[in-house]
Structures are given as structure tokens and as C-alpha cells.
Amino acid sequence: MKEWDEMFRRFGLGDMNDRMDRMLKGFLGSEESAPGAKVWGYTMYRGPDGVPHVREFGTDMGEDVLPEKKEVREPFADVTHEGDGLRIVVELPGVSKEDIDLQTTEKSITVSVDTEGRKYHKTLRLPAEVDADSARAEYNNGILEVLLKTVEPAPKRINIL
């Protein structure tokens, strides 16, 4: 158990046992609990930059269980190299494609949704420079997929003084 506590402490999540106890009380607790399915947990992964990340996910189980509720959510996203370009996949459940604002530069991509029921925002720094004009995007069943062609930066000659 000490190993888990130390691992979560390294990720800055505080005392994991207390949080898990509160979460389980919400699942198994009294009849005061709201009806319906409740899901909550952590996902851990190593990003394309090599840095480990820990994220919470789940439905609202009350203020005493989940950290402060944010008005704007950061959607889950993944960036992978595919052929001669990049593939960006972003989860945006519950929105229509007309509500998605998608912007890109040579070094980043920003996804935003601002509706009465859903607010999402995420800016991703891309692992390679891309041709912004090559962007192709599809949205289906809550999943946004964006394909961008990478560009090779032209070498520059450096004069030695």
C-alpha cells in the first residue's frame, strides 16, 4: 500500500486513500445518494513529450467526493504520428459539429465548444510543425478526428564569425 501512496503523492494527488474512501461511500453509501450510475476514477499515461499525466474522470458524485467542479472542461485528446502527418483525436461528447471551434497554427491546435449545456477547451502543442492549410477534420459520435500534414523545416545556413 505504501508504494501506491508514494506513487500518487509524486503525482500531487494527496492522500489517495481518503479520496477513494469518500468515493466508495458515495457508491455504496446511504439512500441519500442520487439514483443512477456513477463512474469516477483516474487515468494515468505518458504524454508524447514523455511527461507522466494523471487525470480524473467521471460523473458528479457531490462536492464532498470530487474536486471543485469546473465550468469549462478539458476534453481527452491524443496526438499520434500517422504517415507523413499527425492525427489528433479529441473526445467531445454531447455536442454537435456546428458548435465546435477548431483553430490551428504551425505548432498548435485549439478545440473549443461553448454552448449552454457543454463547455470544452483544449490547446495542444504539436510535436512537429504542420501545414495549417492541409487540415482535414471529421466529427462522428462525439469523436473529433483531425489530420494535418507535417512540414520539414528548411535548414538555415549559419554564418560563423
pLDDT tens-digit profile of 12-51? 555 666 667 676 666 655 444 445 556 667 677 777 777 7
Above pLDDT 70, what percent of the chain? 66
Q: d(Cα 138, Cα 82) in Å, to the nearest integer?
A: 16
What's the pLDDT at 66?
44
How many other CB atoms sit within 10 Å of the CB of residue 65?
A: 19
How many other CB atoms sit within 10 Å of the CB of residue 130?
A: 24
What's the pLDDT at 117?
85
Cell readout for 118 is: 457543454
Half-sphere exposure of 60 (CA within 13 A, CB side): 8
Contacts with 79 (C-beta within 8 Å, 6 or more apart), sequence order? 48, 86, 87, 88, 124, 126, 127
Among 68-72, 136-140, 157-161, where is mean pLDDT lowest?
68-72
Element (H, E) at 27: helix 16-28
Domain boundaries, the chain: 1-69, 71-153
Q: Is the model's pLDDT at 100 over the cut of 90?
A: yes
Phi, psi of 104 (to 5 degrees): -140, 150
Classified by CATH at the fold level, domain 71-153 comes out as Immunoglobulin-like (2.60.40)
Nearest of 5, 13, 2 to residue 41 by alpha carbon: 13
How many other CB atoms sit within 10 Å of the CB of residue 153?
A: 9
Q: d(Cα 118, Cα 11) in Å, to the nearest integer?
A: 28
Q: d(Cα 27, Cα 134) in Å, to the nearest integer?
A: 47
Angle at the Cα of 102 from the Cα atoms of 133 and 90, rounded to 5 degrees: 110
Average pLDDT, the chain: 79
